[in-house]
Structure formats: C-alpha cells, structure tokens
Amino acid sequence: MSYERVDVPSAGEQITSDDSELNVPDDPVVPIIHGDGIGTDVAPAAQRVLGAAAEATGREIHWMRIYAGESARERYDENLPDDTLDALREFKVGIKGPLTTPVGAGYRSLNVALRKRLDLYTNMRPTYHIKGVPSPVKDPDAMDMVNFRENTEDVYAGIEWEAGTDEAERVREFVEEEMGFTESIHEGPVGIGIKPISEFGTKRLVRQAIDYALENGRESVTLVHKGNIMKFTEGTFRDWGYEVAREEYGENVITEDTLWDERDGEAPDADVVVNDRIADNMLQQILTRTGEYDVLAMPNLNGDYLSDAAGAQIGGLGIAPGANIGDGRLLAEPVHGSAPKYAGQDKVNPTAMILSGRIMLDQLGWNDAADLIYDGVEDAISSKKVTYDIHRQIDGGEKLATSEFADVVVDSIEDNA
C-alpha cells in the first residue's frame, strides 16, 4: 500500500492476522502516533523502552510514524487522515499517545473516532499496583483487575439531539405519541439521547473477556450493568453475557448460581466463574472487596467510570495503561489525557504509555520482553527514581525528567536481560 505523507521503514516485516490470530515476525513494523500535548514527551520515551525490551530478547521494532490530531493538521490539514487509518489497518498493531479533539473538528473525540473506524470494539485496561507508587488506599496491592469495556455502543455511539431543536421535538413527539411512552418528560427544551446495546456487540466483548480469563488463569468475569433500571439495554447486556458463558464455553465456565447451588461455593481450579453486579454497587465493592474481583466486562460508560475508579486505587491515571482491541488488530494507548500545559517540558510521567506498550508486547506474544518492561518500571519507582508527580508525594528520592526516567528503565532492562 502506498501512503501520501508517511515514510514506511525500509526494513522490517508486516504483522498479519489469520482468523483473528496475529502472526508476528521478530522484526515487525509498528505504527506509532505520538499524539498531542504531553504525547510529544511520553511517546518517544516509550519508544526507547519498548525498543530496548525487544532488543534484549533478540527482536527489533521498526517504528513507523503516523499522525493524528495537531501533528496531522500540520501535515495534512485534517485531524484523522486516510494514511493513518490505512497504516493501522495494514500493519495490524500500533500504539498512540493522547489526542486532543479541537473545537469544531467534526469529531466528538478523535480517540473514539479511531476506535470506531477500525472496529476496535474492546477497550482493555489492566489495573495493578507497582511497588513504590503512592496510593490513597491502605492496601493497593489488592487491586489486580482487568477491565473489558465495550468501545463502540452505549452512550459513546453519540446518538443524541440538542435541546430546543426541531429534531429533539420530533423525537419527543414520536416517543410520547407513537411509542406510548407514559413516563414524564419535562416541558420546555429537552436534550434526548439513545444508547444502543446490541447482542452482537455485547457477545463479542464478553467472549474477549472470558477468553482472556481462561488464557491467563483468572478466576472470574463480572458483568457490570445497571440492569435493575435500564432493563432492555443494560439488563439485556447481562443476559447476553450469561448466554455466551452457558452456550459457548461448556464446562470451562460456570455461573455464580451454579457455583453455589451445585458446588457449595467451591470452583475447580481450571474454571472461570461468571457473575454480575449492579454498577453503583460495584463502585463501592472495588474499594471494600477489591480482591474478590478479577476481570470485569461492561458497557462503555460503566467501563469508563469503573476503570478510572480502579486506577485511582493504584495511584492515578498517570500510570494506568490501556489498549483498544479488535479482531486481529490492536492500538495501545494510555488512559490519561494530553495535558497541553505540560507539553514539551520533559517533565511528565511516561509510565502509562510505557505500560500500554507492555500490553502491546503481551498481545504480540513477547511475554519475556513485557516482563522486562514491568520489572524495569518497578525497579525505577521502588528505588525512588521518579518523575515530579510521584516525587512530590514521597520522602526523599530523585526527581527525573521524562527522558531520564526512560533512561533508568532502559538501564534496568539491559541489566536484567
């Protein structure tokens, strides 16, 4: 495939996919979007760390710089050029920094646009504590949870009409007069939105969550919903999730009811237990019963809230990684935003971007390289060699620039290889 304004590396091989399985060479071409704001600081730092981990395990990443957001406007005069989407489709696996959607850009969110255009239907966010990171809870090590958040439906589908418009009034009239909706909608201007949750979208998300749990020795998958109120969207999300568990996984997966009704609460070691929790109750249970939960599968908005709340328990979004996953395709990205006021200062913490790259390497099957990255980050932080955000919360320690923190992690990788 030819590109208008992207330089394709002259060396390296292409990752391919077969029935959603990635075929990964030892020298893949990997597209990277540096992103906006602090992305220009954290993305190069992450590149160096990921490259060092690959090299330490006998591999090599050939980086292919692509563009979105501000860098794309400078290069293409648009926010999300075809070059970028084509590269991510062709090369299958990539990583990006945070993006800011400018006012009047034509997108509600560039991040959401990327997920939808590439059908990256799962947002996976592992949440675990790294030794040495200050936390607001007494036992942050109890948090070891992986959130699977549906990426294309629910409120993020963006189906809504502005208050005071003819369209909103037509929807109100249709709902009240044609559909016989008897609940009160207040008089006067009203904004109206629709949240679609489909069987197709739900089941493919839940499959990814259960597959992950089985492949990684996790004990449970919890369906998080507000089905007690939203019975035909979130309640059906729960029902469809249980259908997947019962009909597609045989004896490898059991439900919580079966666990207690037939096994007195004792699950065989190889089984995954599927249960469900109401979303507001789950928000308090991740604080009060943190260790009881393992993998969560949720509609989009619930997943946004729950993953951020979980991230707070392990020290905040500055260290929280994420990845968007589709069938045979992945785009890793940190959870945090672009923080433009810190851009270019070589100051912020690159850990979230580095650990997002760790997810990418795990998905490539490079578990040894991914482990080196985790150990390198933990070595740096536990020895109190940290960026300003952590340094201001601890006694002593050495305050490092973004690039200096990357240097320390790279040194640890090389020492541990």
Among residues 36, 154, 294, 304, the one annotated as catalytic is: 304
At 417 the pLDDT is: 87
Fold assignment, 136-150+196-313: Isopropylmalate Dehydrogenase (3.40.718)
Q: Is 128 a catalytic residue?
A: no
Sorted by where each begins, the domain ranges of the chain are 1-129+320-417, 136-150+196-313, 154-194
Model confidence pLDDT, tens digit, residues 18-39? 877 899 999 999 999 999 999 9
At 262 the pLDDT is: 64
> Which residues, 6+ apart, have CB-to-CB distance to 284 below 8 Å?
none
What DSSP character marks residue 13?
B
| Beta bridge partners of residue 274, listed in sequence order | 221, 255
Q: Is the pLDDT of residue 398 over 90?
A: yes
- pTM of whole model > 0.85? yes
Among residues 141, 144, 280, 375, the one annotated as catalytic is: 280
Closest to 57 in 3D by CA, of 387, 361, 388: 361
Residue bearing tokens 């957001």? 69
Q: Is the pLDDT of residue 233 over 80?
A: yes
At 345 the pLDDT is: 97
At 251 the pLDDT is: 83
At 106 the pLDDT is: 57
* Angstrom distance (rounded) from CA 211 to CA 292: 19
Q: Would you list which residues are annotated within the binding site for Mg(2+)?
A: 304
Q: Is 195 a catalytic residue?
A: no
* Angstrom distance (rounded) from CA 279 to CA 304: 11
At 101 the pLDDT is: 72
At 107 the pLDDT is: 62
Fold assignment, 1-129+320-417: Isopropylmalate Dehydrogenase (3.40.718)
Q: Would you list which residues are annotated within the binding site?
A: 100, 109, 111, 115, 125, 149, 304, 336-342, 349, 388, 392
Model confidence pLDDT, tens digit, residues 136-163? 999 999 999 999 999 999 988 889 999 9
Model confidence pLDDT, tens digit, residues 45-102? 999 999 999 999 999 999 999 999 999 999 999 999 999 999 999 999 999 999 987 6
What average pLDDT does range 368-390 have in this prediction? 97
* Angstrom distance (rounded) from CA 112 to CA 115: 5
Q: Would you list which residues are annotated within the binding site for D-threo-isocitrate?
A: 109, 111, 115, 125, 149
Among residues 96, 116, 121, 156, the one annotated as catalytic is: 156
At 100 the pLDDT is: 87
At 264 the pLDDT is: 63
Q: Would you list which residues are annotated within the binding site for NADP(+)?
A: 100, 336-342, 349, 388, 392
Q: Is the pLDDT of residue 261 over 90?
A: no
Structure tokens at 111: 């991040």
> What are the Cα distances from residue 28, in Å, to 12, 15, 48, 366, 417?
5, 6, 15, 12, 20
Q: Is 226 a catalytic residue?
A: yes
Which range, of 63-72, 117-126, 262-271, 333-342, averages the lowest pLDDT? 262-271
At 273 the pLDDT is: 92
Q: Is 280 a catalytic residue?
A: yes
Q: pLDDT confidence of 265, banded at 50, 70, 90?
A: low
Q: pLDDT confidence of 254, banded at 50, 70, 90?
A: confident
In DSSP notation, 94-159 reads EEE------TTSS-S-HHHHHHHHTT--EEEEEEEPPTT---SSS-GGG-EEEEEEE-SSGGGG-E
At 38 the pLDDT is: 96
Among residues 226, 271, 293, 362, the one annotated as catalytic is: 226
